[in-house]
Amino acid sequence: MAVVVKYVVERNGVERMTFTSKKEADAYDKMLDIAESLEGLLDNTDVPLSEQQVEGLALQIAKQKDEFMQVLKGAKPSENKAEKKPKAQDKDSQENVTELKAKEA
């Protein structure tokens, strides 16, 4: 019998993701913290966005924070990263990406 250590990232009593590495779990948890902070910031903008759009946008910005930081510092994003479509990592983000695509169509 093998013993497997799993690290579970949980938010508000809901299991979000499971990792085999503490480092990966901590990184994902930090990304969720950033997304939560961004949601508060996006809620206070003059652009009318639904709650789902705010959540999806905040999550994508948090996932691509390094690229956003470069742009905010005045650098241009590299072509291959700018064209790359984001990949959803959890159930909620997949639903948000799907909904955003449906609204764009």
Domain boundaries, the chain: 7-104
Tell whether the torsion through CA atoms of 48, 62, 64 and 60 is positive or negative: negative
- pTM equals 0.64
List the pLDDT tens digit at each of the 105 positions of the chain: 888 899 999 988 888 899 999 999 999 999 999 999 999 999 888 888 888 999 999 999 999 999 988 888 888 877 654 445 544 445 454 444 455 445 444
Kind and range of the H or E element at 42?
Answer: helix 22-43
pLDDT of residue 79: 66
Task: List beta partners, residue 15.
Answer: 10
